[in-house]
């Protein structure tokens, strides 16, 4: 393990870094596989740099764990995976856009999702020019109100596809508008989708893969699993909604850690940082951490987030700056160089992505994706 000892020395020198426990990612993946059962394939969604976790490292680890299906947003991400020697099917969820080079689909053996007629025509053109049969997944909008053919278009599509033998419908899919709660709208989407799938089959088009469920639906809608589920946030260890916390024994794999650069004592009644938004009400020991909104620690967290220092929760005080965050460490024995946990756990304390997301009125997806690329990722 030459790399890891070199890594740990490099890590010692980082002012701020992300640590990703790939073992947890693998366990989360296996837990989800166990949940959906043997008959259902799990497609790992690794778009947006694997939700900020690192697309290559995450996909390599999942490949080794037996994952054969990956979902990305763009052709570029698909190429990146192939260049890193990731095998299996790579589904390009965003489809083929007008400004994409569709030739890469063939060159890198990518499987595009087709969700509108222009994309279908571009793919057909490519198939004809190359003389190859190109597998793709066809997407229907059953109520999400975003990408996908409308259910009414199914008839015309089937006609079109039956006459085009160079196009191979490898999969048929849809997407929930909100799977974090089980309700009649979601059940309605499943019903519409099932009817479309039946119609395709009765018309002689038999897609190998039928899929609709994301993480929320893996938990809330077992009848939507068909023979494949597309899981993103669950693999990274959290949930699309806070009320699902604990629904699976998954664990967050990402920690965000900084270090105390120096400490300073302030007298009672001192104002701290820009805008004088915080005034000390006692003699206060402040730790300065060189990390701020410039690298993704959002300014709205000023005076409301906590971090962990020496196993204790400590408040973030005063305005978060572009490159500095101030922590009240009066209650600790904090020393220069001590680790500061912005996200993750130490001892009994834990700061989850949901804790930060709630304070920012957002979801963990945005917390993970919001950590700047300039923050180096280290893998356990
Ligand atoms: C991102 C995405 C997913 C994954 O959703 P999670 O909530 O992260 O599990 C599934 N399907 C599609 C089409 C997506 O774009």
CATH number of the domain within which 353 lies: 2.40.37.10
- Around Cβ 110, how many Cβ atoms within 10 Å? 25
Do 222 and 302 reside in the same domain of the chain? no
DSSP-derived pairing of the beta strands 89-92 and 111-114: parallel
Which of these three, 213, 243, 273, is where a domain ends?
A: 243
The DSSP code for 136 is E
Known active-site residue 379: no
Question: Residue 364 C-alpha to ligand 1 middle, in angstroms?
Answer: 13
Using a 6 Å CB cutoff, which residues line ligand 1? 45, 47, 93, 175, 214-216, 230-234, 240
Atom of ligand 1 nearest to the CA of 45: 4
Predicted pLDDT of residue 1: 41
Does 343 map to a domain? yes
Atom of ligand 1 nearest to the CA of 51: 8
Do 213 and 296 reside in the same domain of the chain? no
Do 265 and 318 reside in the same domain of the chain? yes
Identify whether the C-beta of residue 304 lies closer than 8 Å to the C-beta of residue 316: yes
Report the alpha-carbon angle 196-122-149, nearest 5: 25
Two tokens, residue 159: 């006609």
The DSSP code for 316 is B
Atom of ligand 1 nearest to the CA of 73: 15
The structure's pTM equals 0.96
Do 262 and 304 reside in the same domain of the chain? yes
Do 200 and 292 reside in the same domain of the chain? no
CA terminus-to-terminus distance, the chain: 11
Identify whether the C-beta of residue 317 lies closer than 8 Å to the C-beta of residue 370: no
Strand, coil or helix: 354:
helix
Do 207 and 341 reside in the same domain of the chain? no
Do 110 and 155 reside in the same domain of the chain? yes
Does 213 map to a domain? yes
Two tokens, residue 351: 């700061």
Find the Cα–Cα–Cα–Cα dihedral 323, 325, 326, 329, rounded to 10°: -130
- CA gap 212, 108 in Å, rounded: 25
Predicted pLDDT of residue 4: 61
Two tokens, residue 311: 């196993």
Nearest CA to ligand 1 atom 6: 232
Question: Residue 44 C-alpha to ligand 1 middle, in angstroms?
Answer: 9
Alpha helices in 15-116 (DSSP H): 22-36, 47-52, 55-64, 75-83, 103-107
Known active-site residue 359: no
Q: Which of 274, 283, 373, 376 is catalytic?
A: 274
Does 108 map to a domain? yes
Does 59 map to a domain? yes
Which of these three, 243, 276, 299, is where a domain ends?
A: 243
Number of domains in the chain: 2
Closest CA to 329 of 314, 351, 348, 347: 314
Alpha helices in 96-153 (DSSP H): 103-107, 117-130
Segments of the chain scoring below 70 in pLDDT:
1-5
Do 233 and 312 reside in the same domain of the chain? no
**Domain span holding position 151:** 22-243
What contacts 351, CB < 8 A, 6 or more positions away? 306, 307, 308, 341, 342, 343, 344, 345
Considering only CA atoms, give the Rg of the chain: 24
Which of these three, 197, 217, 243, is where a domain ends?
A: 243
Atom of ligand 1 nearest to the CA of 233: 8
Do 78 and 102 reside in the same domain of the chain? yes
Do 47 and 186 reside in the same domain of the chain? yes
Question: Residue 12 C-alpha to ligand 1 middle, in angstroms?
Answer: 35
Helix/strand/coil percent split, the chain, to 5: 35, 25, 40
Does 11 map to a domain? no
Do 312 and 163 reside in the same domain of the chain? no
Predicted pLDDT of residue 3: 56
Exposed (0-12), middle (13-18) or buried (19+): which is 263, by Cβ within 10 Å?
middle
- Looking up tokens 């120096």 gives 262
What contacts 379, CB < 8 A, 6 or more positions away? 7, 19, 20, 22, 54, 57
- CA gap 82, 96 in Å, rounded: 17
Do 236 and 280 reside in the same domain of the chain? no
Question: Residue 92 C-alpha to ligand 1 middle, in angstroms?
Answer: 12
């Amino acid at each position: 393990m030459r790399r890891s000892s070199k890594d740990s020395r490099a890590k010692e020198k980082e002012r701020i870094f992300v640590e990703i426990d790939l073992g947890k990612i693998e366990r989360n993946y296996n837990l989800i596989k166990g949940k959906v059962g043997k008959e259902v394939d799990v497609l790992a969604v690794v778009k947006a740099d694997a939700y900020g976790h690192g697309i290559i490292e995450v996909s390599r680890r999942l490949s080794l764990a037996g994952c054969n299906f990956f979902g990305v947003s763009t052709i570029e991400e698909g190429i990146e995976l192939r260049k890193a020697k990731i095998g299996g099917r790579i589904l390009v969820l965003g489809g083929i856009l007008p400004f994409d080079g569709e030739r890469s689909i063939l060159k890198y053996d990518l499987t595009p999702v087709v969700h509108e007629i222009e994309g279908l025509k571009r793919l057909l053109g490519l198939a004809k020019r190359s003389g190859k049969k190109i597998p793709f997944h066809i997407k229907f909008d059953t109520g999400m109100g975003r990408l996908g053919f409308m259910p009414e278009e199914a008839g015309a599509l089937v006609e079109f596809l039956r006459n085009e033998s160079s196009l191979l419908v490898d999969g048929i899919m849809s997407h929930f508008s909100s799977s974090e709660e089980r309700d009649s709208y979601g059940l309605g989407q499943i019903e519409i989708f099932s009817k479309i799938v039946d119609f395709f089959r009765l018309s002689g088009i038999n897609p190998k893969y039928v899929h609709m469920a994301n993480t929320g639906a893996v938990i809330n809608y077992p009848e939507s699993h068909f023979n494949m589920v597309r899981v993103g946030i669950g693999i990274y260890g959290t949930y699309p909604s806070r009320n699902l916390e604990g629904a699976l024994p998954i664990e967050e794999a990402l920690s965000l850690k900084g270090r105390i650069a120096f400490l300073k004592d302030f007298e009672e009644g001192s104002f701290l940082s820009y805008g004088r938004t915080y005034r000390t009400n006692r003699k206060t020991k402040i730790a300065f951490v060189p990390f701020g909104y410039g690298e993704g620690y959002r300014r709205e967290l000023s005076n409301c987030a906590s971090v962990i220092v020496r196993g204790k929760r400590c408040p973030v005080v005063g305005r978060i700056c572009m490159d500095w965050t101030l922590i009240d460490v009066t209650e600790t024995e904090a020393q220069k160089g001590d680790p500061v946990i912005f996200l993750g756990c130490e001892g009994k304390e834990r700061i989850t992505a949901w804790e930060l997301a709630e304070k920012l009125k957002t979801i963990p997806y945005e917390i993970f994706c919001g950590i700047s690329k300039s923050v180096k990722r280290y893998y356990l």
